[in-house]
Amino acid sequence: MSIEQTTAFTVDTVPATNRDFVRRLDELVDVHLRAMDYPSSTRAQRASLWLHNSSYPDFTCAMAMLHSTAAPPDPSDSRQRCVGIAFTFRGTPETWWYRQVARGLAETGMTQLEISHTLTDYAELSEIHVQPNMQGQGIGRALFESLLPRIPQSTVMLSTPEVPGESNAAWRLYRRLGFTDVLRNFQFPADPRPFGILSRPVR
């Protein structure tokens, strides 16, 4: 899917392998830091976490590549630049995110059986980011749509910071993509911001 075109370059979203992901890890984390406006001092910690995430079962990745119109998009081509990244992996009770969301659901009064049902057979959409100067061109949606047919689980779930009235690009994108509420105004440890936990069917 072609997203943005100039005289000589265009952006396309393509599937990427674990090897592509690891090879471009520093570049991908830079996209993440710029998109989230995080300090560069967090780069090493984020890179370590992302490398660990790539080892999870069913790791599935898509990249948005800025490339010459004379060549196809190719994450293995070092001449091309990545301007967007999204990835998922299988959610399991061993992951930190699962345990935190299960805690939040329990605090709402859900039974253990209800929690297990809610958190059964899902993929965690851990990250989806677009370089700030490339946002607003449909790249985020294209990244998600590239992932979706390749996700083997029945549900995809994510967390996103709450904003008043859901009035930012991330919330608008998730609602357009059909995500619905699982848990609202939830706080993860060591992060003062409230988060929304959202989900949607994969098929």
The per-residue pLDDT for range 56-66, each reduced to its tens digit, is 999 999 999 99
Burial 42-75 (b: 16+ CB within 10 A, else e): eeeebbeebeebbebeebbbbbbbbbeeeeebbb
- pLDDT above 60: residue 2: no
Q: d(Cα 86, Cα 74) in Å, to the nearest integer? A: 16
Question: Which domains does the chain carry?
Answer: 9-201 (3.40.630.30)
pLDDT per residue as tens digits for the range 149-186 = 999 999 999 999 999 999 999 999 999 999 999 999 99
Q: Is 174 a catalytic residue?
A: yes
Q: Report the pLDDT averaged over residues 2-18.
A: 80
Q: Report the pLDDT averaged over residues 87-108.
A: 97
What's the pLDDT at 6?
Answer: 47
Model's pTM, two decimal places? 0.92
Q: What confidence category does residue 191 fall into, taking pLDDT thresholds of 50, 70 and 90?
A: confident
Query: Coil, strand, or helix at residue 2?
Result: strand
Q: What confidence category does residue 4 fall into, taking pLDDT thresholds of 50, 70 and 90?
A: low
